[in-house]
Amino acid sequence: MKTGIVSVFTNETTLSADVETLLKQKLTSKGYKVTDGYDNEAELLICIGGDGAFLRTMHRCDFPETPIVGINTGHLGFFQEVWPEDFDQFLADYERGNYTIQKLGTVMCKATDAEGNTSTHIALNELAITGSNAYSIHFDLSIGGKPIERFSGDGILVATSAGSTAYNYSVGGSIVDPRLNLLQVTPIAPMNTTAYRSFTSSILLPSDLTLGIVPEESDKIIYITGDGIEKGYSHLKEIEVRTADKCVNLIRFSDYDFWNKVKEKFL
Ligand code: NAP
Ligand code: MN
């Protein structure tokens, strides 16, 4: 809905702060009311920074459905669509409705401890479930409630399609076109010996299946890291990972092409 309210988020760099000042002037002179931080009546969210800034904005606002555009003052920017110098063109296209919305799915997990207390995590890129660097961890993994393997190693990563080009790619996962709504489960340094056996490649799960993780030694600290935000747990009994209900609505120009971005970044 066109409310005339735009919420702006900015990371800490001086370049982003300068871009923020300029964009706010442009928006105000066009009659928009600009707010710092999330306003639930905003018609548009603007995030100035790199992909990390985009992720932090999503976490800070709890993954709102409001359309969001990223202004890139970071690096290549998988989420960040617009260069600061193209902002006027963006605003003209935005006002004419000359853009598309890319819907990005999210991943969530519910962690339950020995006393039955639960906590949840949500992420746009990935959830990493790991031990400390000092030891390997052992998990019993199940898919859709059915036991599949006993994992041993550093941990596992459950990435969304949008997150497939981030940490997932570094640990040997596949790049996934974000039009595919799936979860990619990738082992991090799996041990494969006569004593331990687990998949060495990624496995792909449809959006309606849950991955169950039961840590073997519940006294070891297990870290759940969503988009780089880490939390450690002792005495975890079970973790259930699945696709989350929340979707991010990212504004893209009509010439946006995921594979072009991939080619620019990796080849
Ligand atoms: P960071 O350590 O500063 O960022 C790692 C890099 O990942 C940055 O270059 C970031 O881009 C880029 N990135 C983030 N999301 C991406 C995506 N969807 N596709 C391609 N590249 C992406 O941490 P951060 O900036 O807070 O980002 C958090 C993310 O870092 C996590 O979600 C995880 O995916 C990633 N990470 C990667 C590794 C690894 O590759 N070994 C290890 C830990 C975490 P910008 O420079 O534009 O921010
Ligand atoms: Mn970063």
pLDDT tens-digit readout, 36-85 = 999 999 999 999 999 999 999 999 999 999 999 999 998 889 999 999 99
Tokens of 262: 């991939």
Ordered by where they begin, the domains of the chain are 5-97 (3.40.50.10330), 106-245 (2.60.200.30)
For the beta carbon of residue 99, count every other beta carbon within 10 angstroms.
Answer: 18
Contact 104, 162 (CB under 8 A): yes
Mutation to probe ligand 1, out of 15, 121, 125 (largest number of atoms < 8 A from CB)? 125
- At 124, the pLDDT band (50, 70, 90 cuts) reads very high
For the beta carbon of residue 97, count every other beta carbon within 10 angstroms.
Answer: 6
Phi, psi (deg, nearest 5) at residue 39? -120, 125
Catalytic, out of 51, 86, 154, 208: 51
Q: What is the largest CA-CA distance in the chain?
A: 69
Of residues 85, 162, 97, 156, the one with CA closest to residue 123? 162
Q: What is the mean pLDDT of the chain?
A: 96
The backbone region for 145, taken as left when phi is positive above 0, alpha when psi lies in -120 to 50, beta otherwise, is left
Question: Which ligand lies nearest to the CA atom of residue 157 in the structure?
Answer: 1
Asked if 208 is an active-site residue, the reply is no
| CA neighbours closer than 13 Å in the CB half-sphere of residue 100 | 10
Alpha helices in the chain (DSSP H): 14-29, 51-60, 87-96, 167-170, 258-266
Residues near ligand 1 (Cβ within 6 A): 50-52, 55, 74-75, 77-78, 125-126, 162-163, 165-167, 170, 227-228
Residue of the CA atom closest to atom 4 of ligand 1: 52
**CA angle (124 as vertex; 145, 108 as ends), nearest 5:** 30
Q: What is the mean predicted confidence (pLDDT) over 112-119?
A: 95
Model pTM score? 0.97
Tokens of 111: 């962690």
Question: Which ligand lies nearest to the CA atom of residue 228 in the structure?
Answer: 1
Please name the residues in contact with 21: beta carbons below 8 A apart, sequence gap of 6 or more.
none
pLDDT over 90 for what percent of the chain? 91
Contact 47, 54 (CB under 8 A): yes
Of residues 105, 83, 104, 63, the one with CA closest to residue 253? 83
Burial 112-135 (b: 16+ CB within 10 A, else e): eeeeeeeeebbbbbbbbbbbeeee
Q: Among 18-27, 34-43, 215-224, 227-236, whose mean pLDDT is lowest?
A: 215-224
| Environment of ion ligand 2 (residues, CB < 5 A) | 52
Q: How far is the CA of 168 from the centre of ligand 1 (A)?
A: 10
Q: How far is the CA of 55 from the centre of ligand 2 (A)?
A: 9
What are the Cα distances from residue 136, in Å, to 54, 132, 161, 226?
A: 32, 8, 27, 20
For the beta carbon of residue 205, count every other beta carbon within 10 angstroms.
Answer: 18
Q: How far is the CA of 75 from the centre of ligand 2 (A)?
A: 9
Residue of the CA atom closest to atom 27 of ligand 1: 52
CA gap 94, 45 in Å, rounded: 12
